[in-house]
Chain A
Amino acid sequence: MKLLDCPDIGKRPISEFDYLGEIRIPPSDADEATWADYVFNRDNAPGVLRERWYHRPTGRWFILERNTLTDEVVGLVDPADVRYKEPNYEVPA
């Protein structure tokens, strides 16, 4: 059984979680090439990633820092730290 060691609720079976992927800040006011790079490309290099996890029984969202090389959770991130201002999109006429 694989466990996820959540700094908030402790060790829980990985089957109780949904993985929502790496947190990435979208570029604002960027050209198309930058946006294409953001949408389609990933570094995919081992290291510490900030990832969203959802624990279904408690209904809680977590932002965890996880070392993808060692599969070790190294920290809990405050959502305020990954908040970003959404760009003002103009709807074309």
Chain B
Amino acid sequence: MNAYASTDMSNLSLSVRDDLCGYLLTGPESASALSAAGLPLPEAQLSAEEAGGALVARTGSDEYLAFLPKGQNAPACAWCFPRADRILAVQGEGWIELMAQLCQFDFRKMQPGDWLMASVAGVNCWLYREQSGNALLIGFDAGFDHYLSDVFNTLVSELGGKESTKGGAL
């Protein structure tokens, strides 16, 4: 029996989150730099917290990924490096079925606020399910943008959703 047979796909949508700037913070000063910038500080490794439009994930003992709204200053830290992630956002009831075709993780377990690093369509990605709005953010190296955007757009179209952009790029 198909567990997703009754899912309504018509409201599935894909957008680009180019309103966020990514940074990698590493080293013993990373946590204090985040705190000084007023950013959230996740306690557990491989977890994330969001506040004020910013998303911070802890990816190691003293390593963090921070995604800040455009225009916000980067945390003041010698070991803070800008990243060039492309971030897609999937919304709608059919997101689990969409992701089931691209990633082997069981997304039925993924709750709002959960952080995951996994392979999506063969590309190493980070995934975060927003607390509000329930969008699934998918971040990856921008070098894979052409490939992954094409894959996502095709699947969203096949599943009956629509593509959109957010951030004023077009």
A interface, CB within 8 angstroms of B: 1, 9, 12-13, 15-16, 56-59
B interface, CB within 8 angstroms of A: 46, 59, 104-105, 117-119, 124-126
CA distance A9 to B105 in the complex (A): 12
Q: 21 A–B contact pairs at CB < 8 A?
A: A1-B104, A9-B46, A12-B105, A12-B118, A13-B104, A13-B119, A15-B104, A15-B119, A16-B118, A16-B119, A56-B119, A57-B117, A57-B118, A57-B119, A57-B124, A57-B125, A57-B126, A58-B46, A58-B59, A58-B117, A59-B59
Which chain A residue shows the least CB distance to B63? A59
A13 to chain B, nearest CB (A): 4
**Residues in chain A near residue B59, CB distance under 8 A:** 58-59
CA distance A57 to B119 in the complex (A): 6
CA distance A15 to B104 in the complex (A): 10
**Residues in chain A near residue B104, CB distance under 8 A:** 1, 13, 15
**Residues in chain B near residue A13, CB distance under 8 A:** 104, 119
CA distance A30 to B96 in the complex (A): 57
CA distance A12 to B106 in the complex (A): 10
Interface of B is mostly: strand
**Residues in chain A near residue B126, CB distance under 8 A:** 57
CA distance A2 to B46 in the complex (A): 23
Which chain A residue shows the least CB distance to B119? A16
Which chain B residue shows the least CB distance to A59? B59
A81 to chain B, nearest CB (A): 18
**Residues in chain A near residue B117, CB distance under 8 A:** 57-58
**Residues in chain A near residue B46, CB distance under 8 A:** 9, 58
**Residues in chain B near residue A58, CB distance under 8 A:** 46, 59, 117
CA distance A13 to B106 in the complex (A): 11
Which chain B residue shows the least CB distance to A56? B124
CA distance A57 to B46 in the complex (A): 11
B35 to chain A, nearest CB (A): 24
CA distance A16 to B118 in the complex (A): 7
A-B pairs, 5 with minimum CB distance: A57-B117, A13-B104, A57-B124, A58-B117, A16-B119
**Residues in chain A near residue B124, CB distance under 8 A:** 56-57
CA distance A91 to B46 in the complex (A): 44
A62 to chain B, nearest CB (A): 13
Which chain B residue shows the least CB distance to A55? B117
Told that A12-B118, A57-B125, A58-B59 touch, could you supply 17 new A-B pairs with CB distance under 8 A? A1-B104, A9-B46, A12-B105, A13-B104, A13-B119, A15-B119, A16-B118, A16-B119, A56-B119, A56-B124, A57-B118, A57-B119, A57-B124, A57-B126, A58-B46, A58-B117, A59-B59
